[in-house]
Amino acid sequence: QHNYILKQTINPFLHSSSLCFRCLLLMSAWNTTKLIQSFHATPHYDGSFKPISHDFAPTESEYQEAMVQIAWPMIVAAVIFCLWRLFRHCFCSGANKKASLQHAPDLTCARISFVVLAVLSGAAIAVSFVGNNRLTNSASDLTQHAANGEDLLNTAINASNFVANSSSSLSQTVSSTNWTPYGSQVETQAMEMASELLSTSTSLRSLAQSAAQYNPADLNDDVDKYDKLRNQATIAFTVFIVLLGLVASISVCTRKPFFLLVSSFFLTLSFFLCWTLGGVELALSVGLADFCTDPGGYIIREVQNPQVYYFVGCPLAPSPFAPQLTQAASYVNASYTLLANIEQETGDTFPNIESGIVTLEASIAQLGGALACEPVHAQLIGGIHVLCTTGFDGVITQLFSHTTCGFILIFAIIILAHIVRHTDKDRGYYAGRTLMYEERTPFFADD
């Protein structure tokens, strides 16, 4: 569905003082959505409030500072709200208490409003299950694509080792053949042919070792581990919010003092957690959008591995396996030439050796196809596509859920403070022993 064009390719084997690769790989035709482009366009400022590049660079301090700059406003807003409630209690609770004792308002509307807000907050936080499911699916698909790439690469590695063993066996066959009756010159050529075949085996084993340096599934265990933890935390937090809304609604309807106090405390804690998560998820969304705008460029800059460059930069990136394949093929050709000379000089044929060399030559040609970059590249691109579609949507859904829930909790906290303040008057038999809830709940003193 997508065409991935390499905007420019620079030799990955050149080095500079700061990077092992002097290369930049851009997937210029990567079809990013308008939502990703919008988050990518978010201003990036370092700790000194200087604009920086939007290129994804999570290991650089300036980029980390930019992500903190994006996350902190929501967290600070949550802290300010809590401090505001505390300020209202410390400096205004006396006047509020006198005013509350002068009349006993009807709290029915307030209770109904609170229950509605509790239901809405539960619904908002329940949306996080949708995002959670998307993130779980994206993690599963990502690891599956990586495992597929690993299988393809392992198949090529095993084939290379098999051909290397075949070449080594053929070399032993040539060495063990009795060449003495044909004279010293033929015997010398035969030993040279055995040496060429042994060199072929060495080159192919070197190729297998080179291919084994890159494993697309290296991070699969970490992805599974953190996805499991994230999934459990999301479920636990969502269930906590839903149960808290239920308990708070029951306490408001039944006017139980203890449950009102407990609900007041945990509602503020939940609001703070929701907006803290929202700030973190906002920064994560921007960072993921930066990555998805140019995934190839980041991978090439950070991984600094010629095998990675080859598979990501396919089909224009140079193959790191080409030297070994070319060398192995030249050894086989030299062996075939020596065998032809021996057969010409002796007048005899050696069908077992000849068929072995022909088979070896065909196997090396097939090995070149097995090490082609396209199959593994397709799996890498598939994993990136999943991360930048399903995964990004999951993060955005979580951001929407937690932020919306936090907004709803603001109004729920204010209404609950009003209910708490007037509960002792609303229930007449508390008049002789006023509970003074506003003094017990500094975060929830009513305005």
Q: Is the pLDDT of residue 445 over 50?
A: no
Average pLDDT over residues 281-302: 87
Query: What's the rounded Cα separation, in Å, for the pair 65 and 52?
Result: 10
Please tell me what DSSP assigns to residue 24: -
pLDDT category at 223 given cuts 50, 70, 90 is confident
pLDDT digits (tens, 9 = 90+) for 349-366: 888 888 988 998 898 888
Among 355, 392, 439, 348, residue whose Cα is nearest residue 138: 392
Instruction: List the structure tokens of 230.
Output: 């994230």
pLDDT digits (tens, 9 = 90+) for 320-352: 888 888 899 899 999 989 989 988 888 888 888
* The predicted structure's pLDDT at residue 215: 80
Please tell me what DSSP assigns to residue 319: P
Residue with tokens 């005899």: 348
More confident residue, 89 or 133: 133
Contact 214, 308 (CB under 8 A): yes
pLDDT category at 443 given cuts 50, 70, 90 is very low
Query: What's the rounded Cα separation, in Å, for the pair 153 and 216?
Result: 9
Taking the CA atoms of residue 389, residue 391, residue 394 and residue 399 in that order, the dihedral angle to the nearest 10 degrees is: -100
The count of residues in the chain is 447
Instruction: List the structure tokens of 212.
Output: 């084994």
Residue with tokens 């080792």: 161
Q: Is the pLDDT of residue 303 over 80?
A: no
Task: Using a pLDDT cut of 70, give the percent of the chain over it.
Answer: 83
**Phi, psi (deg, nearest 5) at residue 45:** -125, 140
Q: Is the pLDDT of residue 98 over 70?
A: no
Instruction: List the structure tokens of 333.
Output: 């050709």
Contact 51, 43 (CB under 8 A): yes
Average pLDDT over residues 412-426: 74
pLDDT category at 34 given cuts 50, 70, 90 is confident
Neighbours of 335 (CB within 10 A): 28
Helix (H, G, I), strand (E, B) or coil at 6: strand
When mean pLDDT is compared across 107-111, 125-129, 134-138, 323-327, the lowest value belongs to: 107-111
pLDDT category at 287 given cuts 50, 70, 90 is very high
List of long-range contacts for 26-33, beta carbons under 8 Å, 24+ apart: 26/294, 26/296, 26/297, 27/294, 27/295, 27/296, 27/297, 29/2, 29/3, 29/4, 29/5, 30/2, 30/4, 30/292, 30/293, 30/294, 30/295, 30/296, 31/2, 32/289, 32/292, 32/293, 32/388, 33/389
Instruction: List the structure tokens of 58.
Output: 């999570």
Query: What's the rounded Cα separation, in Å, for the pair 32 and 104?
Result: 59
pLDDT category at 52 given cuts 50, 70, 90 is very high
| Cis peptide, bond prior to residue 315, ω within 30 of zero | yes
